[in-house]
Structure 1
Amino acid sequence: MARGSTAARQSPDDATDSVLGRGARVRGRVHGDGSLRVEGTIEGDVQVSGDIEIDDGGSVSGDVDAGALTIGGQLTGNASARGPITIRSTARVSGDMLGAEVVLEEGASFTGRIEAEFELPEELTGR
Protein backbone atom coordinates (compact mmCIF):
# COMPACT_ATOMS: atom_id res chain seq x y z
CA MET A 1 0.00 0.00 0.00
CA ALA A 2 1.20 3.50 -0.73
CA ARG A 3 1.35 6.11 1.99
CA GLY A 4 1.17 9.82 1.33
CA SER A 5 2.07 12.63 3.68
CA THR A 6 -1.03 12.07 5.80
CA ALA A 7 -0.61 9.82 8.83
CA ALA A 8 -2.09 6.38 8.27
CA ARG A 9 -3.94 6.37 11.58
CA GLN A 10 -5.35 9.70 12.65
CA SER A 11 -7.33 8.51 15.66
CA PRO A 12 -8.10 5.27 17.51
CA ASP A 13 -11.51 5.18 15.77
CA ASP A 14 -9.97 5.52 12.30
CA ALA A 15 -9.77 2.04 10.78
CA THR A 16 -7.74 3.13 7.72
CA ASP A 17 -4.54 1.11 7.31
CA SER A 18 -3.05 3.03 4.37
CA VAL A 19 -3.47 6.50 2.87
CA LEU A 20 -2.49 7.77 -0.55
CA GLY A 21 -2.09 11.47 0.25
CA ARG A 22 -3.17 14.51 -1.74
CA GLY A 23 -0.81 15.19 -4.61
CA ALA A 24 0.44 11.59 -4.70
CA ARG A 25 -0.05 9.61 -7.92
CA VAL A 26 0.23 5.85 -8.44
CA ARG A 27 0.22 4.15 -11.84
CA GLY A 28 -0.29 0.40 -11.82
CA ARG A 29 -2.20 -2.21 -9.88
CA VAL A 30 -2.66 -1.64 -6.14
CA HIS A 31 -3.49 -4.64 -3.93
CA GLY A 32 -3.10 -5.62 -0.32
CA ASP A 33 -4.59 -6.39 3.04
CA GLY A 34 -6.37 -3.82 5.17
CA SER A 35 -8.17 -0.65 4.17
CA LEU A 36 -7.17 2.27 1.97
CA ARG A 37 -8.10 5.95 1.82
CA VAL A 38 -7.37 7.66 -1.50
CA GLU A 39 -6.78 11.40 -1.34
CA GLY A 40 -4.52 11.45 -4.42
CA THR A 41 -4.74 9.68 -7.79
CA ILE A 42 -4.56 6.00 -8.73
CA GLU A 43 -4.38 4.99 -12.38
CA GLY A 44 -4.93 1.23 -12.27
CA ASP A 45 -7.00 -1.45 -10.59
CA VAL A 46 -7.31 -1.49 -6.80
CA GLN A 47 -7.99 -4.64 -4.75
CA VAL A 48 -7.87 -4.68 -0.95
CA SER A 49 -9.27 -6.99 1.70
CA GLY A 50 -10.64 -4.07 3.75
CA ASP A 51 -12.58 -0.95 2.86
CA ILE A 52 -11.72 1.75 0.33
CA GLU A 53 -12.61 5.42 0.72
CA ILE A 54 -12.04 7.76 -2.21
CA ASP A 55 -12.05 11.21 -0.64
CA ASP A 56 -13.40 14.36 -2.25
CA GLY A 57 -10.45 15.38 -4.43
CA GLY A 58 -9.20 11.79 -4.78
CA SER A 59 -9.58 9.78 -7.98
CA VAL A 60 -9.27 6.22 -9.22
CA SER A 61 -9.21 5.25 -12.90
CA GLY A 62 -9.55 1.47 -12.84
CA ASP A 63 -11.64 -1.32 -11.37
CA VAL A 64 -12.05 -1.48 -7.59
CA ASP A 65 -12.66 -4.53 -5.36
CA ALA A 66 -13.03 -4.10 -1.59
CA GLY A 67 -14.90 -5.03 1.55
CA ALA A 68 -16.91 -1.80 1.39
CA LEU A 69 -16.51 1.30 -0.76
CA THR A 70 -17.21 4.97 -0.08
CA ILE A 71 -16.76 7.38 -2.98
CA GLY A 72 -16.56 11.12 -2.39
CA GLY A 73 -14.23 11.90 -5.29
CA GLN A 74 -13.97 10.44 -8.78
CA LEU A 75 -14.12 6.80 -9.90
CA THR A 76 -13.87 5.78 -13.54
CA GLY A 77 -14.20 2.00 -13.58
CA ASN A 78 -16.30 -0.84 -12.24
CA ALA A 79 -16.58 -1.54 -8.51
CA SER A 80 -17.47 -4.61 -6.51
CA ALA A 81 -17.76 -4.78 -2.74
CA ARG A 82 -18.72 -7.49 -0.30
CA GLY A 83 -20.32 -4.79 1.85
CA PRO A 84 -22.07 -1.52 1.01
CA ILE A 85 -21.10 0.96 -1.68
CA THR A 86 -21.82 4.59 -0.79
CA ILE A 87 -21.67 7.25 -3.50
CA ARG A 88 -21.51 10.64 -1.77
CA SER A 89 -23.05 13.87 -3.04
CA THR A 90 -19.58 15.13 -4.09
CA ALA A 91 -18.79 12.01 -6.17
CA ARG A 92 -18.42 11.65 -9.92
CA VAL A 93 -18.71 7.97 -10.88
CA SER A 94 -18.68 6.28 -14.27
CA GLY A 95 -18.90 2.48 -14.13
CA ASP A 96 -20.96 -0.44 -12.89
CA MET A 97 -21.45 -0.99 -9.15
CA LEU A 98 -21.97 -4.42 -7.54
CA GLY A 99 -22.39 -4.50 -3.76
CA ALA A 100 -24.39 -5.85 -0.86
CA GLU A 101 -26.20 -2.50 -1.00
CA VAL A 102 -25.62 0.67 -2.98
CA VAL A 103 -26.44 4.11 -1.56
CA LEU A 104 -26.53 7.05 -3.96
CA GLU A 105 -26.69 10.43 -2.22
CA GLU A 106 -28.58 13.33 -3.77
CA GLY A 107 -26.27 15.47 -5.89
CA ALA A 108 -23.90 12.65 -6.87
CA SER A 109 -23.03 12.22 -10.54
CA PHE A 110 -23.40 8.57 -11.59
CA THR A 111 -23.31 6.88 -15.00
CA GLY A 112 -23.51 3.09 -15.07
CA ARG A 113 -25.45 0.12 -13.75
CA ILE A 114 -26.15 -0.81 -10.16
CA GLU A 115 -26.50 -4.40 -8.96
CA ALA A 116 -27.28 -4.91 -5.29
CA GLU A 117 -28.58 -7.74 -3.17
CA PHE A 118 -31.94 -6.87 -1.67
CA GLU A 119 -35.36 -8.31 -0.90
CA LEU A 120 -38.58 -6.67 -1.99
CA PRO A 121 -41.23 -6.13 0.71
CA GLU A 122 -44.16 -8.56 0.65
CA GLU A 123 -46.56 -5.83 -0.50
CA LEU A 124 -44.54 -5.52 -3.71
CA THR A 125 -44.07 -9.23 -4.36
CA GLY A 126 -47.66 -10.27 -3.67
CA ARG A 127 -46.52 -13.19 -1.51
Structure 2
Amino acid sequence: MFSEKKKNKMVENTPHQNIIAQGTKFVGDLSSAGDFRIDGTVEGNIKTSGKIVVGKEGFLKGTLQGTDAYFEGKFSGKLTLSGTLTLKASAYIEGEVIAGKLAVEPGATFNVTCVMKGTVKEMNNGGKRKPETEKTA
Protein backbone atom coordinates (compact mmCIF):
# COMPACT_ATOMS: atom_id res chain seq x y z
CA MET A 1 0.00 0.00 0.00
CA PHE A 2 2.79 2.48 0.92
CA SER A 3 6.03 2.64 -0.92
CA GLU A 4 9.19 2.28 1.20
CA LYS A 5 9.98 5.96 0.63
CA LYS A 6 6.58 7.09 1.95
CA LYS A 7 6.87 4.83 5.02
CA ASN A 8 10.23 6.31 5.98
CA LYS A 9 8.95 9.86 5.49
CA MET A 10 5.97 9.16 7.76
CA VAL A 11 8.24 7.82 10.50
CA GLU A 12 10.55 10.85 10.28
CA ASN A 13 7.63 13.30 10.71
CA THR A 14 5.99 11.42 13.59
CA PRO A 15 6.72 12.95 17.01
CA HIS A 16 8.31 10.36 19.30
CA GLN A 17 7.82 10.06 23.03
CA ASN A 18 10.13 7.95 25.15
CA ILE A 19 8.57 6.56 28.32
CA ILE A 20 10.22 5.23 31.46
CA ALA A 21 7.25 3.56 33.16
CA GLN A 22 6.51 3.46 36.88
CA GLY A 23 8.40 0.59 38.50
CA THR A 24 11.25 0.87 35.96
CA LYS A 25 14.77 1.90 36.99
CA PHE A 26 17.22 3.00 34.28
CA VAL A 27 20.90 3.67 35.01
CA GLY A 28 22.92 5.29 32.22
CA ASP A 29 22.81 8.03 29.60
CA LEU A 30 19.90 8.73 27.24
CA SER A 31 19.87 10.90 24.15
CA SER A 32 16.91 11.51 21.84
CA ALA A 33 15.35 14.10 19.55
CA GLY A 34 11.92 13.13 20.91
CA ASP A 35 10.08 13.92 24.13
CA PHE A 36 10.59 12.03 27.40
CA ARG A 37 8.06 11.03 30.03
CA ILE A 38 9.52 9.64 33.25
CA ASP A 39 7.26 7.86 35.73
CA GLY A 40 10.01 5.54 37.01
CA THR A 41 13.58 6.24 38.13
CA VAL A 42 16.46 7.43 35.96
CA GLU A 43 20.02 7.75 37.27
CA GLY A 44 22.24 9.30 34.64
CA ASN A 45 22.20 11.94 31.95
CA ILE A 46 19.38 12.83 29.56
CA LYS A 47 19.87 15.05 26.52
CA THR A 48 16.97 15.89 24.22
CA SER A 49 15.72 18.64 21.95
CA GLY A 50 12.20 17.69 23.01
CA LYS A 51 10.10 18.24 26.13
CA ILE A 52 10.64 16.34 29.38
CA VAL A 53 7.76 15.40 31.68
CA VAL A 54 8.46 13.87 35.10
CA GLY A 55 5.29 12.40 36.60
CA LYS A 56 4.34 12.35 40.29
CA GLU A 57 6.15 9.05 40.91
CA GLY A 58 9.09 9.95 38.65
CA PHE A 59 12.63 10.57 39.92
CA LEU A 60 15.59 11.79 37.91
CA LYS A 61 19.09 11.94 39.42
CA GLY A 62 21.85 13.30 37.19
CA THR A 63 21.92 15.90 34.44
CA LEU A 64 19.13 16.94 32.14
CA GLN A 65 19.53 19.07 28.99
CA GLY A 66 16.50 20.00 26.94
CA THR A 67 14.06 22.62 25.78
CA ASP A 68 11.13 22.56 28.23
CA ALA A 69 10.52 20.48 31.37
CA TYR A 70 7.37 19.83 33.40
CA PHE A 71 7.87 18.35 36.88
CA GLU A 72 5.39 16.74 39.23
CA GLY A 73 8.02 14.36 40.64
CA LYS A 74 11.59 14.68 41.91
CA PHE A 75 14.89 15.84 40.44
CA SER A 76 18.38 15.98 41.88
CA GLY A 77 21.34 17.25 39.84
CA LYS A 78 21.99 19.76 37.08
CA LEU A 79 19.12 20.92 34.87
CA THR A 80 19.79 23.01 31.74
CA LEU A 81 16.82 24.19 29.67
CA SER A 82 16.62 26.67 26.82
CA GLY A 83 12.88 27.11 27.40
CA THR A 84 10.54 26.89 30.40
CA LEU A 85 10.82 24.90 33.64
CA THR A 86 7.34 24.27 35.05
CA LEU A 87 6.98 22.97 38.61
CA LYS A 88 3.67 21.62 39.90
CA ALA A 89 2.86 21.70 43.64
CA SER A 90 4.16 18.13 44.15
CA ALA A 91 7.56 18.82 42.51
CA TYR A 92 10.80 18.50 44.48
CA ILE A 93 13.88 19.97 42.76
CA GLU A 94 17.39 20.24 44.20
CA GLY A 95 20.73 21.05 42.62
CA GLU A 96 21.60 23.52 39.88
CA VAL A 97 19.14 25.00 37.36
CA ILE A 98 19.75 27.05 34.22
CA ALA A 99 16.52 27.93 32.42
CA GLY A 100 15.00 30.53 30.14
CA LYS A 101 11.75 30.84 32.12
CA LEU A 102 10.45 29.50 35.42
CA ALA A 103 6.86 28.74 36.47
CA VAL A 104 6.34 27.47 40.04
CA GLU A 105 3.08 26.46 41.70
CA PRO A 106 2.71 27.09 45.44
CA GLY A 107 3.80 24.01 47.38
CA ALA A 108 6.68 23.01 45.08
CA THR A 109 10.11 22.54 46.68
CA PHE A 110 12.84 24.38 44.78
CA ASN A 111 16.22 24.11 46.59
CA VAL A 112 18.66 25.12 43.86
CA THR A 113 21.12 27.64 42.59
CA CYS A 114 19.30 29.14 39.63
CA VAL A 115 20.36 31.18 36.59
CA MET A 116 17.78 32.63 34.21
CA LYS A 117 19.02 32.82 30.63
CA GLY A 118 16.09 34.46 28.86
CA THR A 119 15.93 37.43 26.59
CA VAL A 120 16.43 40.70 28.42
CA LYS A 121 13.53 43.09 28.01
CA GLU A 122 14.35 46.78 27.99
CA MET A 123 12.39 48.57 30.69
CA ASN A 124 10.22 51.40 29.48
CA ASN A 125 10.71 54.59 31.49
CA GLY A 126 7.00 55.50 31.46
CA GLY A 127 7.21 56.49 27.80
CA LYS A 128 9.79 59.19 28.61
CA ARG A 129 13.12 59.32 26.88
CA LYS A 130 16.16 59.07 29.06
CA PRO A 131 17.69 62.56 29.24
CA GLU A 132 20.92 62.93 27.36
CA THR A 133 23.90 64.01 29.41
CA GLU A 134 25.60 67.26 28.46
CA LYS A 135 29.30 67.36 27.95
CA THR A 136 31.26 70.49 28.74
CA ALA A 137 34.78 71.30 27.75
SS of 1:47's equivalent in the other structure is strand
Does residue 51 of structure 2 align to residue 51 of structure 1? yes
Task: Give the match for residue 121 of structure 2.
Answer: 119
Equivalent positions of 1:1-127 (< 5 A) are: 17-116=17-116, 117=118, 118-119=120-121, 121-122=123-124
- Root-mean-square deviation over aligned CA pairs: 2.0
Higher strand share: 2
1:102–1:114 CA contact under 8 A, matched in 2: no
User: Deviating runs (4+, > 6 A) in structure 1?
Assistant: none
Q: Following TM superposition, by how much is the alpha carbon of 1:120 offset from its aligned partner in structure 2, in angstroms?
A: 6.5
Say if 1:16 and 1:37, in contact at 8 Å, map to a contact too.
Answer: no
Unaligned runs of 5+ in 1: 1-14
Q: Distance in 1 between matches of 2:71 and 2:79?
A: 10
Percent identity, aligned pairs only, is: 21
Larger Rg: 2
TM, length-normalised to structure 1: 0.79
What's the CA shift for 1:16? 5.9
- In proportion to residue count, which structure has more helix? 2
